[in-house]
Amino acid sequence: MIENVNMERMRPKQLLAAIAKCPVVYVPLAPLEWHGPHLPLNVDAIHATAVCEGVAQIVGGVVYPTTYLGTETRRSRQELKDLGFQGDEHVVGMDFPANSVPSMYLDEGVYGIVVKEIVRLLKRTGFQVIMLMSGHGALNHNRVLMRIAAEESDDQCQVVYRLVFSTSNEQDTGSTPSYDAEKDDDSAAAGVGHASRDETSLAMYLCPDDVDLSELPSMTRTLHYTDWGIVDGNAFVGRPTKGYVVRPDDDPRKATPEHGFEFVSSNIKIIADEVRQLLHR
Ligand SMILES: [Zn+2]
């Protein structure tokens, strides 16, 4: 039988026993967000939750209820140009003008206050390590979490921020990997894209009934970033394709549940190792 790791389903005695065994709590954090017409709004959250639950099953600890909170900010002129826009549009995060529904981004200040309050309550509950586990890649979203981790860590409790994407954890800053011209070649993908092959695959693995690839056009048509709100990781670091279309290797129409399983499993393994190190186990 798989042990329950979800805090909301625990009775007080069970919660205290779980904390005594491993005093770590994982907080999955991601907004409901546009992820193309083919994916549900909770892709980032379902990913963060799966990684938190997977790590808790391996290392121990408790998973706080999935927190559908996140923020975004206005894109700079350069970012807009890299995505194939003119540069003078007002675009917040992945809320591209062609999207049919808006994303649920909180104001950055409000987001920070709410997360800080959750951290305060978790400290009071007796956790010694609080893992803020972000499924959302926005720079300002992650900067807020990094700031809270720094401000709230003390002798009794360590607050740690982590992006749940394996490729981005190489950097302690939590920022999108920066572009290295020396290493530039078409085969090298930079980080995780948005609603592209990786995220579509993880959704096909974690919530297959919620994915509908028939919402995308046939393979004969290229996917323009601006038309679909689907972007490869390279475009986010200033390396868009020539026509501002999704890079073939990152095409969501090439997604498979098997790739999703591998992607999620490797993210679980990397973070489980980090938590073990934190706990010296
Ligand atoms: Zn996402």
Confidence of residue 166 (pLDDT cuts 50, 70, 90): low
Q: How far is the CA of 33 from the centre of ligand 1 (A)?
A: 7
* Separation of CA 202 and ligand 1 centre (Å): 10
Tell me yes or no: is domain 7-175+189-274 CATH 1.20.1260.10: no
pLDDT at position 187 is: 46
What are the domain boundaries of the chain?
7-175+189-274
How far does the centroid of ligand 1 lie from the alpha carbon of residue 28, in Å?
13
CA of 130 to the centre of ligand 1 (A): 23
Q: Are 216 and 155 in contact (CB under 8 A)?
A: no
Query: Are 29 and 51 spatial neighbours (Cβ–Cβ below 8 Å)?
Result: no
CA of 87 to the centre of ligand 1 (A): 23
pTM equals 0.91
- The CA 155 to ligand 1 mean position distance, Å, reads 34
Distance from residue 26's CA to the centre of ligand 1 (Å): 19
Burial class (CB in 10 A: 0-12, 13-18, 19+), 261: middle
Q: How far apart are CA 33 and CA 93, in angstroms?
A: 9
- Ligand 1 centroid from CA 233, angstroms: 11
pLDDT tens digits along 22-46: 999 999 999 999 999 999 999 999 9
Instruction: Express each pLDDT in 194-251 by its tens digit.
Output: 999 999 999 999 999 999 999 999 999 999 999 999 999 999 999 999 999 999 999 9
Proportion of the chain above pLDDT 70, given as a percent = 90
Question: Rounded to the nearest whole angstrom, what is the distance from the C-alpha of residue 78 to the centroid of ligand 1?
Answer: 21
pLDDT of residue 173 exceeding 80, the answer is no
